[in-house]
Chains A and B, each alone.
Chain A
Amino acid sequence: MKKVAELLNAMLAADVIDDYALFGAAAQMRYTEAVATLDADILVAVPTSDRLDVLSPIYEFCASRGYHPEGESIKVGAWPVQFIPTFSELTAAAMKNADTVDFEGVPLRVVRADYLATLALSVGRAKDSARILALLEAGSITAERMADISREFGLYDAWVRFKARFMNE
């Protein structure tokens, strides 16, 4: 993951991207025990472009550093990395409000627990529900914070359904 952080910071310095933040299972593990995951998911903001394929400059930059595509991702060290351009108000806010943490001496931007849970709520698969429950159990988010943030992004009904299904004790 240190190599991933170095690559992302180099992309920022070269203006290939405007911002980035790690999210998904790899980010969740800041707060919970280790979980099985196949890849590292990165939210990216790309400079405004008329190009149809907004990820091309990222792929070209990776290739110039010796990192090449493998299927849908780019293998960087031990991690297949997937780049996902921000596509909604929620993903943009998750990236903007990300923490910059010290990863073995390298700065790495990581989506915060409350946004990780809200992104999971917006997707709604079984593994996303498990992620929200794991973050709640770890004490990294609270039901009150989830109520507030889900309301902010139009997901309050989804939060109420989640609570009724999983938190009826």
Chain B
Amino acid sequence: MNKASHDLDKQAAWQKTRAQLPWPEKLRQAEVMREAFVKLRSASVSRMPTPKRRAS
């Protein structure tokens, strides 16, 4: 097994543990996600100037 697939397996296992959290906690997470989701959908976000790399 290469490192990338090992890392993906570890990530999948970690994601599965999140499904085991208590339901109220998952609903609280969804409330946080919704806030971020609404902000991302707002027009002001798409009008931000693209950040530029600092010249080296």
Interface residues of A (CB under 8 A from B): 1-2, 25-26, 29-38, 78-79, 101, 103-104, 138
Question: Given A25-B30, A37-B30, A37-B34, A104–B24 Cβ distance below 8 Å?
Answer: yes
Chain B facing A: main interface SS? helix
A-B contact count (CB 8 A): 45
- Interface bracket on B: 10 to 19
Of the residues B21, B27, B37, contact of A26 by C-beta under 8 Å: B27
Bound Cα distance A103, B27 (Å): 11
Q: Is the interface of A mostly helix, strand, loop or mixed?
A: loop
- The contact sample of 10 A-B pairs, CB cut-off 8 A, is A1-B27, A29-B30, A31-B19, A34-B26, A34-B27, A35-B33, A36-B30, A36-B33, A38-B38, A103-B23
- A97–chain B nearest beta-carbon distance, Å: 19
What 9 pairs between A and B have smallest CB-CB spacing?
A34-B29, A34-B26, A33-B18, A29-B26, A33-B19, A36-B33, A78-B31, A30-B23, A34-B30
CB distance from B30 to the nearest CB of A (A): 5
Type the 1/0 row for B14-56, where 1 means its CB is closer than 8 Å to any CB of A: 0110110101101101110110011000000000000000000
Chain B residues whose C-beta falls within 8 Å of the C-beta of A29 in the assembled complex: 23, 26-27, 30
Residues of B within 8 A of A33 (CB): 15-16, 18-19, 21, 26
